[in-house]
A and B are shown apart, each in its own frame.
Chain A
């Protein structure tokens, strides 16, 4: 402990706030990931099946959805936080705090994830979709038994990318009192010149990112039977 408190004096003094901040980051990330994950997959699937060459082609619907996704993807998160604050207040009753940060996180992450899902599913061989149609599969069966199953390795890889970028976004949640490691690094580490706090925050975030990356790689490899050799 001696060496640790020598190099990280301020960290050693504020272990509980690190535990708290880490928990907040994980909490924001996990809740957002689950909700944005469901919405993102849903919208991504809609984009694929209604899009050009989709199994349920709906040109007008696709064009509108496509534009909405593009617009929401283009808004920087820090501005999104402010812009949707009134909406956040309606939904969760407050526009300040960890819960309040989750609403803009979802709004920002969903279109990004939807686009990633769309790209992952578009990579599924059209011939396989055609074969499934020829075998009498309904559109719903094609979504669940073909698209989501054949696209799973690509979905996992995209999910890792989105999850890591989501952790990046949670760092900004501090601006609305959302807490988390990003907030700790800026408010305590940067603004009070406690550099060791900044660095320790970074290290913890890196560890979380590495863990996600490693788990993602293992899962992707396990589900990918296309590139075995």
Chain B
């Protein structure tokens, strides 16, 4: 049973003369223990969609099922207890300025019948967990952004949620702090078996912690699947754009497209090889030479681990007879290595187009 099940969610904002569809027919299924990334540019409807999960946003149509229970009709105190089981952290932290760090963490427990002593003990335990126990009597304005987000995480955990929504929680942080917050989320996911919904526009964040990902564009989910399948075999152009932001292949191609040696390179001989997992261990480059007398010269390489599985990109030039190269490509294909011809003229065109758009 999925922990969070969204079925055909629509959210339409009605204004005086027009209605704007922020989320359109989105169905997602999030399993217990998932770190589920929802990625998209701003305005894609990600934040609206996650607000449907704790009903901060009422869906115009569709169903929200949490742990098998349809929360569409719950209201009042029932809705509030559903919300307590869903923690949320925000881009701008949203800590209460008038409360100390410890009191911020205790806030979700106020009015729930937990004694003052137990509240204190819990906030201290959670602050230790996020590494900020020594700041418990400070006020939020005295902390850095990363520290504030850690407090927000501790606060979100105070009511023992099963699900944590991270709404662009690292978007206002520098790269190093972003990584430390992501590592903390990953640790909580593992230690507490916490299901995490990670909303972000940074594919890097998704890549480093998520096991599943959905890509959103104009209110629709355009692609979803396991992180590895999406990264190794993206179907949608937008997904490809997002993936490109996380590796160095695009910049490498741009550099090549301006280099004299490569400017007029035959696109059948300049290729990008992409491989996943096991195929990496075969010495294919040597095999190409032994079997087809084709030498492969590696111009650029990028290998990364997606959920522990290596995913490699190589840009190589192939030298040999036309027939040999054709056979070599077929062979690579049989080895489940994807081969893409690189057309540097196209890369230059693309670059010129993007520069024009930016100007």
Is there an interface contact between B94 and A130, defined as CB atoms closer than 8 Å? yes
- Nearest-CB residue, chain A, relative to B81: A136
Which of chain B's residues have a CB closer than 8 A to the CB of A131? 88, 90, 94-95
B142 touches A136 (CB 8 A): no
Tell me how far the C-beta of A130 lies from the nearest C-beta in chain B, rounded to whole angstroms: 6
Say if the beta carbon of A60 comes within 8 Å of chain B. Answer: no
A133, B98: Cβ atoms closer than 8 Å: no
Task: Check B83–A130 contact: CB distance below 8 A.
Answer: no
Residues of B within 8 A of A153 (CB): 98
A133-B83 CB under 8 A given contacts A127-B92, A145-B110, A229-B142: yes
- Assembled-state Cα–Cα distance A132/B80 (Å): 10
CB–CB B142/A134 < 8 A: no
Minimum CB–CB distance from B89 to chain A (whole Å) comes to 9
Asked whether, in the complex, the Cβ of A125 is within 8 Å of the Cβ of B94, the reply is yes
Interface assignment of B96: CB less than 8 Å from any CB of chain A: yes
- Inter-chain contact B83/A135, CB cutoff 8 Å: yes
CB < 8 Å: which of A138, A141, A225 contacts B139? A225
Q: Do A225 and B107 touch across chains, with their CB atoms under 8 A apart?
A: no
Give Cα distance in the complex from A149 to B142, angstroms. Answer: 19
Q: A225-B139, A225-B141, A228-B141 are in contact. Are A135 and B97 (CB under 8 A)?
A: no
Question: What mask results when residues 105 to 146 of chain A are scored 1 for a CB within 8 Å of chain B, else 0?
Answer: 000000000000000000001011011111111100100011
Chain B residues, CB < 8 A from A132:
107
Within 8 Å by CB of B98, from A130, A134, A149, lies: A149
Q: Judge whether A149 and B80 touch: CB under 8 Å.
A: no
Which residues of A78-114 are within 8 A (CB) of B?
Answer: none
8 A Cβ contacts from A146-166 to B: 146, 149-150, 152-153
Which A residues lie within 8 Å of B308 (CB)?
none
Give the residues from 208 to 229 in chain A that come closer than 8 angstroms, CB to CB, to chain B.
223, 225-229
Encode B91-110 as 1/0 by CB contact (under 8 A) with A: 01011111100000001101
Q: Which residue of B lies closest to A152 (CB)?
A: B98
Residue of A128, A135, A146 contacting most chain B CB atoms (<10 Å)? A135
Chain A nearest Cβ from B299, distance in angstroms = 48
B99 lies within 8 A of A135 (CB):
no
Is A146's CB under 8 angstroms from B56's CB? no
Question: With A and B bound together, what is the CA distance between A137 and B81 in angstroms?
Answer: 9
Minimum distance in angstroms from B15 CB to a CB of chain A: 13
Do residues A133 and B56 form an inter-chain contact, with CB atoms below 8 A?
A: yes
The distance in angstroms between the C-alpha atoms of A150 and B95, with both chains bound, is 10
Report yes or no: A134 in contact with B88, Cβ–Cβ below 8 A: yes
Q: How far is the CB of B169 from chain A (nearest CB, A)?
A: 12
Q: A226 to B88, alpha carbons, bound, how many Å?
A: 22
Is the CB–CB distance between A141 and B84 below 8 Å? no
CB <8 Å contact, A135 and B139:
no
Choice from B92, B141, B142, B159 contacting A135 with Cβ under 8 Å:
B159
The reply to whether A128 and B94 form a contact with Cβ atoms under 8 Å apart is yes
- Contact in complex: A149, B99 (CB < 8 Å): yes
Q: Contact check: which of A125, A130, A135, A228 meets B84 at CB < 8 Å? A: A135
Interface contact A228-B142, CB-CB below 8 Å = yes
B66 interface residue per 8 A CB criterion: no
Assembly CA distance A208 to B166 (angstroms): 52
Q: How far is the CB of B142 from chain A (nearest CB, A)?
A: 6
Known: A131-B88, A131-B90, A228-B139. A223 touches B108 (CB 8 A): no
* CA distance in complex: A111, B337 (Å): 75
Q: Report chain B residues within 8 Å CB of A138.
A: 77, 80, 111
B208 to chain A, nearest CB (A): 25
Which of B81, B90, B98, B110 is A141 in contact with, Cβ under 8 Å? B110
Return B213 CB to nearest CB of chain A, in Å: 23
A198 and B357 CA atoms in complex are apart in Å by 73
A150 close to B83 (CB less than 8 A) = no
- Which of B81, B92, B98, B139 has the most CB atoms of chain A within a 10 A radius of its CB? B98
- Taking beta carbons and an 8 Å cutoff, which residues of A are in contact with B? 125, 127-128, 130-138, 141, 145-146, 149-150, 152-153, 223, 225-229
Q: What are the nearest 8 A-B pairs in CB distance?
A: A131-B94, A226-B97, A136-B80, A225-B139, A127-B94, A136-B84, A136-B83, A135-B108
Q: Which residues of B contact A (CB under 8 A)?
A: 54, 56, 77, 80-81, 83-84, 86, 88, 90, 92, 94-99, 107-108, 110-111, 139-142, 155-156, 159
Known A136-B80, A136-B81, A136-B84; further 11 A-B contacts with Cβ < 8 A: A125-B92, A130-B90, A131-B95, A134-B54, A138-B77, A150-B97, A150-B98, A225-B97, A226-B97, A226-B139, A229-B142
The 30 sampled A-B contact pairs (Cβ below 8 Å) are A128-B94, A128-B95, A128-B96, A128-B97, A131-B90, A131-B94, A132-B107, A133-B83, A134-B56, A134-B88, A135-B83, A135-B107, A135-B155, A135-B159, A136-B81, A137-B111, A145-B107, A146-B96, A149-B96, A149-B99, A150-B96, A150-B98, A152-B98, A225-B139, A225-B141, A226-B98, A226-B141, A227-B141, A229-B141, A229-B142
